[in-house]
Structure 1
Amino acid sequence: MRIDGQCHCGTVTYEAEIEPEDVSICHCTDCQRLTGSAFRVTVSTPADQFRLTGKPPKRYEKRADNGARRLQFFCGDCGSPIYTTGEGKDAETVGIRWGSINQRSQLKPKHKIWCRSAVDWLSGIPNLPGRPGD
């Protein structure tokens, strides 16, 4: 599936070819901190299927517990997370941040990881009162 996306302010843009089955939710504590939310949704794709089309993003390097470096890319103007990758063999894959994808309504998560870090209140969300706008 061909997708495109951007940061909130539209400065960083990209195009990619993805498999809709490669959408996942990560509940790890790093993703919670990096998003400021309960989890992160990511679409994985081979690096050669991802191409920046706008201004280059800024990079933040995070060292994982296993010692590997994870490279987090985000807009330097609005701060929106765009994608992640790694080094060596890990650089062969790009994890595109679901919220930056223009076609995100067509992409539903197919699996979850780091479930031991999932917050215990997620299952109660459907029961919360809500309204269509604010």
Structure 2
Amino acid sequence: MKITGQCHCGAIRFTATASPDKVAVCHCADCQIMSGGPFRAVLPVPVDQVELQGSPKQYVKVAASGNRRAQAFCGDCGTQLFATEADEPKTLNFRLGCVNERAQLNPVLQIWRDSAMPWLTELDGLPAHTRGRDSPLASS
């Protein structure tokens, strides 16, 4: 499947050929902290299947296991774009939020489920607002 995407400000864009049956949700503490949310959804794509326009900034996060992961983001707007192996990148794990076709990419597995927020299963029972301006969080 062809995917396209960009950072929030549009300084970095990408196109890629991805397998839609590879989408995963990660509940690890690093993904929670770096995404600012309770989990992160990712789509792994082989490096040779990606065309990247622009130059993301990167930093290397060393996990408790010793694994070195390069985290790529837009240096202008801060959008997190992907993570990859720090030393010899083979796969770019795109953050699903910056992929235009994200609504068509259903997760097929969850990892680090023991770290998941216990309230995630309760979300379906909460009131829903279809537009942000109708939300009690919207400013007047």
TM-score band (shorter)? over 0.9
Which residue identity is paired with 1:128? L
User: Does the aligned pair in 1 maintain the 2:4–2:101 contact within 8 Å?
Assistant: yes
Following TM superposition, the consecutive aligned residue runs of length 4 or more in structure 1 with deviations greater than 2 angstroms are none
What pairs with 1:1-134 in structure 2 (closer than 5 Å)?
Answer: 1-53=1-53, 55-88=54-87, 91-133=89-131, 134=133
Segments of 5+ residues of structure 1 without an aligned counterpart are: none
CA deviations on 1:40-85 (whole Å, 9 max, x unpaired) are 00001111111212x2111121001111210000011110011110
Aligned mates of 1:87, 1:102 — CA distance in 2: 26
User: Does the aligned pair in 1 maintain the 2:60–2:86 contact within 8 Å?
Assistant: no
C-alpha displacement at 1:93, in angstroms? Answer: 1.2
User: Does the aligned pair in 1 maintain the 2:68–2:87 contact within 8 Å?
Assistant: no
Segments of 5+ residues of structure 2 without an aligned counterpart are: 134-140
Count of residues in correspondence between the two structures: 132
**SS of alignment partner, residue 21 of structure 1:** helix
**SS of alignment partner, residue 45 of structure 2:** strand
Which residue identity is paired with 2:107? P
C-alpha displacement at 1:87, in angstroms? Answer: 3.4
Residue aligning to 2:136: none
C-alpha displacement at 1:23, in angstroms? Answer: 0.4
Which residue identity is paired with 1:32? Q
Aligned mates of 1:87, 1:124 — CA distance in 2: 37
